[in-house]
Chain A
């Protein structure tokens, strides 16, 4: 198909429309966080208003933002590291020593993501309670890493498969043990892919709400719990909720923005050969 000027314009407009549609709620939340509670619920919605920081002061006064943020950082980094530590050997084995069952195992792993998490809430809750993991950082790290594990394995598997097996064989001939082969050859070769995987995992864990809300309450509560605490059943304070949400997603948005180049490079990676 020849791309004429017209179709190009059409595609550009469609692209922008989709991007705007996806971004609009975040923009609106950001704007709302600077409104008073009255203007926040005004109909028709106020587009022009006097910005105020009072919501941020109120939110920060009511809750210890930094404590939640610290937990979020610890949980998302910890889960990602744990997931990578488990997934790297798994993906290595499946990519370079496949058996007749490898495909099935991959499908089975990803199929666990098709089950709603609430389906296993009771058994997980009881296990966590009996092992003393409720409301602990380690407990959250463990459950979050398990929940991102299938995606991490899948992504690493597809990056590893891009590496010609003969390069690993060459390192074996050069005297490398399996661990040396992994650390000196495979992982350095797949750095962009591993970075993209890690970034995605960090983002997923940062935004993970279900387990954080159900398995942690105070000590290990993350920013999702912090945000949720402003959405109370006895009446919503939209402006304060928006301020809390903005504070919760700001770090990961900035982080994502800084790392977007790495991310795109990793996601479209595939040229080792």
Chain B
């Protein structure tokens, strides 16, 4: 059990800086996810916490004590890798007990611990198998089991589910959440899949190009994205973005002019804005509804039927593509010319530099 703290952590590969000064406090027993597109630095950050990557500048503290000069073997952390990285020449049981063997723990106790973990993960029958005889899902379990056996201070998980099929991913997500609750250990989870972060983490760190874009609970990120990047990254389908210009502004409302000439009144943000300023309007699919009198007109390009609901992908007159959520039994067809209404009170506003313009209230 441990806290992990990063203080102005930087990483350079040669002259190329990939992590630009990150400060972060990961609480004891927290399930935190680092999420971002590839190249955002999330894996590098995790590897620096692990000690597999040197910290160019700044401090990493584990349980309050500086760890930069502690080798990975002495940090007391366990890691689960994307490719599982099991030892191919050892059986499952040997893989799991390797760390205990290195620590000089007697054989009987090693076996007892391995059995206990195998029971939790329901993989006792696999203990004598070789890794090459296992399926992807089983390999994944062994990798998690190997991390659990050592009773680490914290688990570092680097895209552990990305090699599994969708059904297994869903099952493993629930299982990881259950494990986290049972083990009560800090978990740091790296993923490019916002869905994994949203469904499992207590808090999410959204990374973009080596910087923290936003830190918060899944719902905070979804409801109050701080930047255009977070708004576009968190949530599926992606948030719709429309260009707009401010016509008039008062204390209650901004009157926006959309590119098709339609006007829209949205609640005024805290920041003072003047007429003529260009902004981006963000609208989630569930806040863009089919309505014959709606502000936006377009043609349906694609339909995704998901059963209880459907997504309509449409192209507006100015070429912008939008997606709207509608009922599963919608009668809309491809090629239909339709209109959408924007739920103005649920929109997000972003200034020219991509920063969200917050409104008063929750």
A167 and B71 contact, Cβ closer than 8 Å, known pairs A174-B98, A175-B99, A175-B103: no
Query: Which chain A residue lies CB-closest to B103?
Result: A175
B89 proximal to A (CB < 8 A): yes
A172 and B71 contact, Cβ closer than 8 Å, known pairs A164-B83, A167-B85: yes
B162 proximal to A (CB < 8 A): no
A47 proximal to B (CB < 8 A): no
- Bound state CA distance, A180 and B102, in angstroms? 8
A174 touches B99 (CB 8 A): yes
Chain B residues with Cβ below 8 Å from A174 are 73, 78, 98-99, 102, 146, 150
B79 touches A176 (CB 8 A): no
A176 touches B85 (CB 8 A): no
- Bound state CA distance, A177 and B88, in angstroms? 19
A38 proximal to B (CB < 8 A): no
Expressed in whole angstroms, the minimum distance between the Cβ of B70 and any Cβ of chain A is: 12
A175 and B73 contact, Cβ closer than 8 Å, known pairs A169-B52, A180-B102: yes
Expressed in whole angstroms, the minimum distance between the Cβ of B8 and any Cβ of chain A is: 25
Comparing A52-60, A149-157, A183-191, A197-205, the segment that makes contact with chain B is: A183-191
B72 proximal to A (CB < 8 A): yes
B77 proximal to A (CB < 8 A): yes
Query: Which chain A residue lies CB-closest to B146?
Result: A174
- Bound state CA distance, A189 and B50, in angstroms? 24
* Interface SS, A side: helix
Query: Which chain B residue lies CB-closest to A181?
Result: B73
Contact with B along A182-219 (1 / 0, CB 8 A): 00110011000000000000000000000000000000
A171 and B98 contact, Cβ closer than 8 Å, known pairs A177-B73, A188-B89: yes
B89 touches A173 (CB 8 A): no
Residues of B in contact with A, size category: 20 to 34
Residues of A in contact with B, size category: 10 to 19
A169 touches B81 (CB 8 A): yes
- Bound state CA distance, A174 and B79, in angstroms? 8
A169 touches B85 (CB 8 A): yes
Chain A residues with Cβ below 8 Å from B88 are 167, 189, 272
Expressed in whole angstroms, the minimum distance between the Cβ of B146 and any Cβ of chain A is: 7
- Bound state CA distance, A1 and B51, in angstroms? 52
B85 touches A172 (CB 8 A): no
B103 touches A173 (CB 8 A): no
A254 proximal to B (CB < 8 A): no
B102 touches A170 (CB 8 A): no
A166 proximal to B (CB < 8 A): yes
Chain A residues with Cβ below 8 Å from B83 are 164, 166
B81 touches A189 (CB 8 A): no
Which B residues, 57 to 106, have Cβ-Cβ distances below 8 Å to chain A? 71-74, 77-79, 81, 83, 85-89, 98-99, 102-103
A170 and B73 contact, Cβ closer than 8 Å, known pairs A175-B103, A180-B102, A189-B88: no
- Cβ-defined partner of A173 (8 Å) among B50, B86, B87: B50
Which B residues, 131 to 149, have Cβ-Cβ distances below 8 Å to chain A? 146
Which A residues, 99 to 116, have Cβ-Cβ distances below 8 Å to chain B? none
Chain A residues with Cβ below 8 Å from B81 are 166, 169-170
- Bound state CA distance, A176 and B90, in angstroms? 15
Interface residue ranges, B against A (CB under 8 Å): 50-52, 71-74, 77-79, 81, 83, 85-89, 98-99, 102-103, 146, 150, 156
Given pairs A176-B102, A185-B87, 19 additional interface contacts (CB within 8 A) = A164-B85, A167-B85, A167-B87, A169-B79, A169-B85, A170-B79, A170-B86, A171-B98, A172-B72, A173-B77, A173-B78, A173-B79, A174-B78, A174-B146, A174-B150, A175-B150, A176-B73, A177-B73, A189-B88
Listed A/B pairs (14) with beta-carbon separation below 8 Å: A169-B72, A170-B81, A171-B87, A172-B51, A172-B52, A172-B71, A172-B73, A173-B72, A175-B74, A175-B103, A175-B150, A184-B98, A185-B87, A189-B87
